[in-house]
Amino acid sequence: MDKGLVLVYTGNGKGKTTASIGLGVRAVGHGKKVAMIQFMKGQNNTGELISLKKLENFTILQAGREEFIVGEADPMDVEAALAGFEKAKEVINEVDILILDEINMAMDFGLVEIEEVENLIRNKPKKVDLILTGRNFPEELADLVDMISEVKEIKHHYNNGIMAKKGIEY
């Protein structure tokens, strides 16, 4: 039970960040210390950011800008992601659980190198649980992780013209 796990939430469906937050909240209930770094996110009015800042032993840091990346990443996006990843390497020694939210997309966009994430997985403290979220989890890392859950979209309200809703998407 002392072995830290590496868990992945990926896929095109909604709920990957929410699942990782639920896991983190559960862990805090058992006295664990949790940190979450949100890659490619910088919206300071999200429900999770507001709520988690009130929760003791759960810290959250955003490493991105407010707008979504459309097309090519900007040098600012790379800089923010690299700063977030440096922070991840720093705090992994201070927590029981580290959640790297949207790290899979950061790798997919080339903001963080897959090899860097591989090194983090291989060299993480043995007792730390590491959670990776986001679409497009790279297959070459699959053998290094303990669990991969794919969240599959079957139907989504976006397809009916219902845009992001406060308390549901943010």
pLDDT in 10s for each residue of the chain, 170 residues:
689 999 999 999 999 999 999 999 999 999 999 999 999 887 777 888 899 989 999 999 999 877 666 667 678 888 999 999 999 999 999 999 999 999 999 999 999 999 999 999 999 999 999 999 999 999 999 999 999 999 998 888 877 788 777 777 77
CA dist., res. 89 & res. 72, Å (int): 26
For the packed helices 75-91 and 114-123, what is the interaxial angle rounded to 10 degrees?
10
What are the distances in angstroms from CA 126 to CA 5, 52, 147? 9, 26, 16
Amino acid at 8: V
Distance (Å, whole) CA 147 – CA 144: 9
Cα atoms in the 13 Å half-sphere on the side-chain side of 109: 26
Contact by Cβ (8 Å): 104, 40: no
Query: Which residue ranges make up each domain of the chain?
Result: 6-160
Tokens at 129, concatenated = 């649980």
- List the beta bridge partners of residue 147: 7
Amino acid at 89: K
Place of tokens 């991105």: 64
Give the DSSP letter of residue 110.
Answer: T
Of residues 58, 50, 51, 102, the one with CA closest to residue 80: 102
**Residue 125 in tokens:** 């403290």
Q: What is the CATH number of domain 6-160?
A: 3.40.50.300
Q: Is the pTM of this model over 0.85?
A: yes
